[in-house]
């Protein structure tokens, strides 16, 4: 590599208008995550919902509430014995990476939509309002409810026209990890999905200390576009709960605790999700709890389209353990849309082309980032170079939040695409992060913290 090219990459690394912190909205969502690890049966406190509104205390539920990092819970109110939720389908601007915001569709200002949590046996009413520019409906995936509540346009109901409301009401007799989504293929690929978790009347055994939910999505964004191309078959942005690594919020686990992960996929691909350093068992599917006799150890679980897999493991080994889709192209974002007209020419065949290509990418990333790993002095003479060189973009400060506290320098350079980490932390480190979270914006807003 020539000096000029080195200098260019250095310049690219420091290019930009300076460092930006996380958006206020995202911070609120991140800080909205509660620490229930030591308080498995607490009353639920006020919950930040998308848009920063607050919700008053929610009734007691058995088991832990699920935490869906980067996605807020949907609050409800009681009408007699009925839990009433208000869900609004609408366009949503979603920052999926620090330098990439897409025009998705979602619910209540969030994509994926806010997480709904109910108790097995609950009577629930879903007041749905359509603020999309076209008709839609809401399907309750996996729930055994009357056909009139099934949410399929023309088959079980009239489509909900723009500006209209539609009320769904049913009793949840099941327990498990379900979801809601528009029953229209393109709308699904625009992001119209959210968790619907039914907590069991009788606690699952063994009890867990942490319960996390992740929704897997993929997006095809063409050059100079912010609207996902829902007709595409190739995807360039891969997200957990609406954000790509390193913007995903690490999942915290106290050393020695038991962890549950609920992983849900609604996209065009199946995702083999792999956890480092631990073995887990599949304890449930999109159909509910699986009997213990079916559990066997594994560390990669295939989450097919429209499936949920619930896994549990003992967090025995301290460290920052990756959890990610293992499809190689899902362990990165191609970012080809940021290359604009140069996206066809993805080869660093000549220095001039490479410079120009990298320049267009670097200019579209408005903050400092670093390419930390060294390359060989004769790298350019080796057929195939570069592969992963220059792909790593360290941006620790940009994605900083309490959950990233104490990670090694340049950790963010190793995080791309459909990826997050389970941080198994000894008491001291775990408690340090929790106190940072308590001191965050949510505390300033007077948020109750368990």
Given the rule CB under 5 A, which residues bind Cu ion?
271, 325, 327, 330
Residue 300, phi then psi, degrees to nearest 5: -135, 125
Strand partners, 55: 47
Closest distance to Cu ion from the beta carbon of 276 (Å) = 16
Closest distance to Cu ion from the beta carbon of 419 (Å) = 10
Closest distance to Cu ion from the beta carbon of 282 (Å) = 18
- CB-nearer residue toward Cu ion: 299 or 438: 299
- CB-nearer residue toward Cu ion: 266 or 425: 266
- CB-nearer residue toward Cu ion: 140 or 235: 235
Q: At 100, is the secondary structure helix, strand, or coil?
A: strand
Closest distance to Cu ion from the beta carbon of 103 (Å) = 23
- CB-nearer residue toward Cu ion: 58 or 420: 420
Strand positions, DSSP E, 151-287: 165-171, 176-181, 193-199, 210-219, 237-240, 251-254, 258-265, 271-275, 281-285
Location of structure tokens 């709960």? 241
CB-CB contact of 404 with 398 (8 Å):
no
- CB-nearer residue toward Cu ion: 276 or 436: 276
Report the C-alpha gap between 214 and 262 in whole angstroms. 6
**Three-state secondary structure readout of 12-37:** HHHCCCCCCCCCHHHHHHHHCCCCCC
Alpha carbons within 13 A on the beta-carbon side of 113: 33
Report the C-alpha gap between 314 and 295 in whole angstroms. 14
- CB-nearer residue toward Cu ion: 210 or 330: 330
Closest distance to Cu ion from the beta carbon of 330 (Å) = 3
CB-CB contact of 87 with 74 (8 Å):
yes
Report which of 186, 181, 192, 184 is spatially closest to residue 231, judged by C-alpha positions: 186
Closest distance to Cu ion from the beta carbon of 302 (Å) = 10
Which pair of tokens denotes residue 390? 């220059």
- CB-nearer residue toward Cu ion: 210 or 271: 271
Angle of the 351-363 helix axis to the 3-14 helix axis, nearest 10: 10
Report which of 22, 104, 80, 88 is spatially closest to residue 53, judged by C-alpha positions: 88
- CB-nearer residue toward Cu ion: 156 or 230: 230
Question: CB neighbours of 328 closer than 8 A, spacing ≥ 6?
Answer: none
Location of structure tokens 């699904």? 188
Question: CB neighbours of 301 closer than 8 A, spacing ≥ 6?
Answer: 263, 272, 273, 280, 282, 309, 311
Closest distance to Cu ion from the beta carbon of 113 (Å) = 21
Total residue count of the chain as it appears in this document = 450
Closest distance to Cu ion from the beta carbon of 271 (Å) = 3
- CB-nearer residue toward Cu ion: 276 or 449: 276
- CB-nearer residue toward Cu ion: 167 or 305: 305
């Amino acid at each position: 590599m020539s000096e000029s090219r080195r200098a260019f990459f250095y310049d690219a690394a420091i290019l930009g208008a300076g460092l930006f912190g996380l958006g206020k909205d995202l911070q609120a969502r991140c800080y909205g995550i509660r620490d229930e690890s030591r308080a498995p049966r607490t009353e639920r406190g006020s919950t930040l919902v998308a848009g920063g509104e607050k919700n008053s205390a929610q009734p007691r539920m058995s088991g832990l509430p699920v935490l869906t990092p980067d996605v807020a819970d949907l609050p409800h109110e009681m009408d007699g014995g009925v839990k009433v939720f208000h869900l609004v389908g609408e366009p949503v601007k979603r920052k999926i990476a620090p330098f990439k915001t897409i025009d998705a569709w979602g619910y209540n200002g969030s994509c994926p939509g806010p997480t709904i949590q109910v108790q097995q046996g609950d009577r629930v009413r879903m007041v749905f309002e359509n603020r999309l520019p076209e008709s839609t409906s809401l399907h309750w995936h996996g729930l055994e409810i009357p056909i009139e509540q099934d949410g399929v346009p023309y088959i079980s109901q009239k489509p909900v026209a723009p500006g209209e409301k539609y009320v769904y009401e049913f009793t949840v007799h099941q327990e498990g990890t379900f979801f809601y989504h528009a029953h229209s293929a393109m709308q699904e690929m625009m992001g119209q999905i959210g968790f619907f978790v039914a907590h069991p009347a009788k606690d699952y055994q063994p009890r867990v200390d942490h319960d996390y939910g992740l929704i897997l999505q993929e997006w095809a964004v063409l050059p100079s576009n912010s609207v996902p191309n829902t007709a595409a078959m190739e995807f360039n942005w891969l997200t957990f709960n609406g954000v790509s690594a390193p913007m995903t919020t690490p999942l915290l686990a106290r050393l020695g605790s038991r962890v549950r992960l609920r992983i849900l996929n609604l996209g065009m691909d199946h995702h083999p999700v792999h956890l480092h350093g631990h073995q887990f068992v599949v304890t449930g599917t999109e159909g509910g709890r699986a009997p213990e006799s079916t559990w066997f150890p594994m560390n990669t679980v295939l989450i097919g389209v429209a499936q949920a897999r619930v896994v549990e493991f003992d967090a025995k080994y301290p460290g920052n353990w990756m959890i990610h889709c293992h499809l190689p192209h899902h362990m990165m974002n191609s970012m080809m849309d940021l290359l604009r007209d140069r996206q066809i020419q993805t080869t660093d065949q000549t220095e001039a082309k490479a410079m120009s290509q990298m320049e267009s990418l670097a200019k579209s990333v408005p903050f400092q980032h670093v390419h930390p790993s060294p390359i060989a002095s004769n790298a350019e003479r080796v057929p195939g170079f570069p592969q992963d060189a220059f792909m790593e973009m360290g941006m620790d400060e940009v994605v900083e939040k309490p959950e990233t506290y104490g990670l090694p320098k340049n950790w963010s350079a190793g995080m791309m695409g459909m990826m997050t980490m389970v941080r198994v932390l000894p008491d001291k480190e775990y408690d340090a992060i929790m106190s940072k979270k308590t001191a965050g914006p949510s505390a300033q807003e007077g948020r109750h913290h368990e």
